[in-house]
Structures are given as structure tokens and as C-alpha cells.
């Protein structure tokens, strides 16, 4: 009896015979194991969304013990660690995830984010050794997903916070802001406002934040403008006026 190589491997793993009846039993066993595995993952996901992180982690850890390359379990373990602000653990799981799914922009972005948060809590010497990996992860996310908004925001922040000698650059930050403007106009104006605010060009920042308000009109856009007035321009009256305009606009 001819059997495809895949089934021969399955039968060998589970100690199955190649006789018709025993082969059928083996296939049923494999199907059942897969169904139960998917049910466990669904249960773990449910626990995660309910905030039962420890219980969810147990399910996902058990899954990767049996299936080390299960991307869903690896991602949730990374998400659990990130929720708990255990950034080194999150980076560990996301690194495994991007090894399993090297073409996943999300995996690259999450790994870069976890590494960045870990660096922010490390001493300066250690943090600087991590910069290259962080930058590469975000740039890889953009290469895989050319419209990745959050990776560009992360690179803007990285270029603003890093000293020029270690790769920080207003020019690079502005380049990513201009790219955002083409993908999501409101994000682009907010990013340009952030850069101007960072370098204390408050009148320019005001102009860009106003553009964001006109373009998006979300609470975030109004808040950014109001915070600029209150915290940087010493205009609490304008801050109140801005938020009052938002409330009036969204009055039910």
C-alpha cells in the first residue's frame, strides 16, 4: 500500500501501523490532538483578554513545550510579558516569534518595541549596545509592511531621543514624519508637531497640531494642541478654549 511521505512520518511518530484500520485510527488521533490544541489556544486567548495572565501563560507555555514553533502561543507569551512590563521576557518571546515568522512585520515591530522598553530601563552603556537591534527591527517592519505607521512613530522617537553621535537625527525623524503624512495625514501632522515641539519651535508646532485638528479632529489631536498651549506656551486660556471646542464639536 502506497502512503505519502507525510503520513509515513505521522505514523512513525505515533507508533502507528500502515494497515488500513490502524492508519485510520492514527489519522483520527492526529486530528483530535490538533482540535484539542486549538481549543487550548482559544482558551488561553480568552483568559488573556479576561486579564487572567498567569493562567493564560500556563496554557501557552505548555503549548510551546510540545510545539516550539507555534507562533500564536509565542506571540501571546510575548504580549503577556509586555502587559506585565517584563520587557526582557517579552523580547525573548518576540525574538522567537520573528524567527518562526521572519516575514511578519508585527513580530519585528513588537520585538523592537520590547527591546526599546528594556533599553529605557537599562544603564546607558547597555542601552546603547541595543540601539542597532532596535533600529533594525523597526526598519525591517517597514520593509515588510511599507504602510506600517507605528514603526515610523517608533523611529521618530528613537531619532529624537538618541544623541547625534549615536545615530539620532532630526533629519531622519522628519523623513519618517513626511512618510507618515502620505500614509495617514493626521499622524503626519502630529509627528511634525512633535518634532517641532521637541526642538522648542512652539509656533511651528502649533501650526502642525492645528493641521492635525483640521485633518482628524480626534480627541488626541485637540489634546496635543491644548497640552502645547498649557505646558510649553504658557497659555492655559488657549488650552481651555481648545478642549472646549472639542467638547462643543462632539456634543451629543
Q: Are 78 and 86 in contact (CB under 8 A)?
A: no
Instruction: Output the 3-class SS for the chain.
Output: CCCCHHHHHHHHHCCCCCCHHHHHHHHHHHHHHHHHHHHHHHHHHHHHHCCCHHHHHHHHHHHHHHCCCCHHHHHHHHHHHHHCCCHHHHHHHHHHHHHHCCCCHHHHHHHHHHHHHHHHCCCHHHHHHHHHHHHHHHHHHHHHCCCCHHHHHHHHHHHHHCCHHHCCCHHHHHHHHHHHHHHCHHHHHHHHHHHHHHCCCHHHHHHHHHHHHHHCCCHHHHHHHHHHHHHHCCCHHHHHHHHHHHHHHCCC
Say which range, 17-31, 52-66, 71-85, 94-108, has the weakest mean pLDDT: 17-31
Q: Mind listing the pLDDT tens digit for each residue in 152-210?
A: 999 999 999 998 888 899 999 999 999 999 999 999 999 999 999 999 999 999 999 99
What is the model's pLDDT at position 165?
A: 83
The candidate with the shortest Cα–Cα distance to 204, out of 187, 215, 216, 191, is 191
Tell me how far apart the alpha carbons of residues 179 and 83 are, in angstroms, rounded to a whole number: 30
pLDDT value of position 30: 44
| pLDDT grade for 13, boundaries at 50, 70 and 90 | very low
For the chain, give the mean pLDDT.
Answer: 88
65 pLDDT exceeds 60? yes
Q: Is the pLDDT of residue 141 over 60?
A: yes
CA distances from 133 to 121, 130, 137, 171, 230 (A): 16, 6, 6, 21, 37
- On the question of pLDDT at 69 being above 70, the answer is yes
pLDDT of 146 strictly over 90: yes
Q: Cβ of 97: how many Cβ atoms within 10 Å?
A: 26
Range 231-235 average pLDDT:
97
Query: Tell me, what's the pLDDT at 22?
Result: 55
**Residues 77-92 pLDDT 10s:** 999 999 999 999 999 9
Amino acid at each position: 500500500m502506497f502512503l505519502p511521505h507525510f503520513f509515513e512520518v505521522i505514523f512513525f511518530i505515533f507508533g502507528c501501523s500502515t494497515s488500513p484500520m490502524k492508519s485510520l485510527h492514527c489519522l483520527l488521533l492526529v486530528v483530535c490532538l490538533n482540535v484539542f490544541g486549538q481549543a487550548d489556544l482559544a482558551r488561553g486567548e480568552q483568559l488573556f483578554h479576561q486579564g487572567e495572565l498567569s493562567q493564560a501563560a500556563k496554557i501557552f507555555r505548555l503549548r510551546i513545550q510540545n510545539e516550539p514553533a507555534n507562533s500564536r502561543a509565542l506571540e501571546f507569551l510575548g504580549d503577556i510579558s509586555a502587559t506585565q512590563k517584563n520587557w526582557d521576557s517579552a523580547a525573548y518571546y518576540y525574538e522567537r516569534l520573528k524567527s518562526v515568522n521572519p516575514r511578519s512585520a508585527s513580530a519585528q515591530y513588537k520585538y523592537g518595541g520590547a527591546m526599546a522598553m528594556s533599553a529605557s530601563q537599562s544603564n546607558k552603556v547597555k542601552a546603547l549596545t541595543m540601539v542597532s537591534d532596535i533600529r533594525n527591527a523597526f526598519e525591517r517592519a517597514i520593509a515588510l509592511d511599507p504602510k506600517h505607521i507605528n514603526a515610523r512613530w517608533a523611529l521618530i522617537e528613537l531619532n529624537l531621543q538618541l544623541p547625534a553621535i549615536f545615530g539620532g537625527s532630526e533629519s531622519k525623524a522628519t523623513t519618517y514624519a513626511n512618510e507618515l503624512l502620505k500614509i495617514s495625514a493626521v499622524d503626519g501632522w502630529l509627528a511634525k508637531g512633535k518634532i517641532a515641539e521637541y526642538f522648542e519651535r512652539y509656533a511651528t508646532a502649533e501650526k502642525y497640531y492645528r493641521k492635525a485638528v483640521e485633518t482628524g479632529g480626534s480627541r488626541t489631536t485637540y489634546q496635543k494642541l491644548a497640552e502645547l498651549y498649557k505646558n510649553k506656551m504658557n497659555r492655559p486660556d488657549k488650552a481651555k478654549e481648545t478642549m472646549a471646542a472639542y467638547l462643543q464639536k462632539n456634543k451629543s
